[in-house]
Homo-oligomer: A and B are copies of this chain.
């Protein structure tokens, strides 16, 4: 069965739209998001456009703040300070990757965690890991939500996470071992230094693959009935007009009949990440409203 992230994300957007509609109808102001983008990477520009469109669709006021490729780190840090302090901004994010002369680490450290709607700054990552109130990393949060909406339990299950990135693998593992009904899994985190990946995957009830490499997860690595969540978005050259097609990290065609559930690429995790971003923005808004 297909884990239809596009459909679930649209259900979440509808829920958010209704909630924000009620807030505004009751005389409240709309939540607001700012998206900072540096340079003209085409993929980044597409992502930012999609995020802003998704915001507008649910009633979140969104604005883009664009800098040229050669902006200095100092100017970008000053922009973050402004956004941290601006009372009309509930949340913001800086689209990655950044040009090489700007430290992504310094940027992440500077963002006020209460406005960090990507959930990537150290304070939020630490709070999530410690089980404290936090804004969660958007992609792992979206995957957890996808499993929840399909009634796929994680408690007592063996979950294998492939890939140890800061934005997916590590925070995904940390969400799934939390002491709650959406966690309680026995989690194994694998990566490039795992010598026997196939053997480890064959132990899994659920596999989450996030390495950015086509055909990392093949048919022989997966037990019949396993759940596969595919986080990779890879461009593969083909004969189409565009000259490429998108595919995930799993061999979808061969796996789709062997798995009980599998998420497609595109249309699986991607839309869920944007849905999480919208949820996180509303969460940041509510937090600030409570404090007002």
Contact = CB atoms under 8 A, between A and B. Distances in A.
Interface stretch (A1-9, A69-77, A184-192): A184-192
Given A187-B188, A189-B173, A194-B186, A127 B122 contact: yes
Interface stretch (A25-33, A129-137, A143-151): A129-137
B132 A129 contact: no
Contacts of A179: 164, 191, 193
Contact of A123 (B126, B189, B190): B126
A199 to B, nearest CB: 9
A282 interface: no
A111 interface: no
B156 A177 contact: no
Contact of A124 (B126, B156, B173, B203): B126
Contacts of A200: 158, 186
B191 A189 contact: no
A85 interface: no
A131 B165 CA distance: 10
B189 A186 contact: yes
A195 interface: yes
A174 interface: yes
Interface of A: 105, 108-109, 121-127, 129-132, 155-156, 158, 164, 166, 170-171, 173-174, 177, 179, 184-191, 193-195, 200, 203
Given A129-B129, A173-B177, 16 more contacts: A122-B122, A122-B123, A122-B132, A125-B130, A129-B174, A155-B193, A156-B194, A156-B195, A177-B189, A177-B191, A179-B193, A184-B191, A186-B188, A186-B190, A186-B193, A186-B200
| 4 A-B pairs closest in CB distance | A126-B126, A122-B126, A125-B126, A184-B193
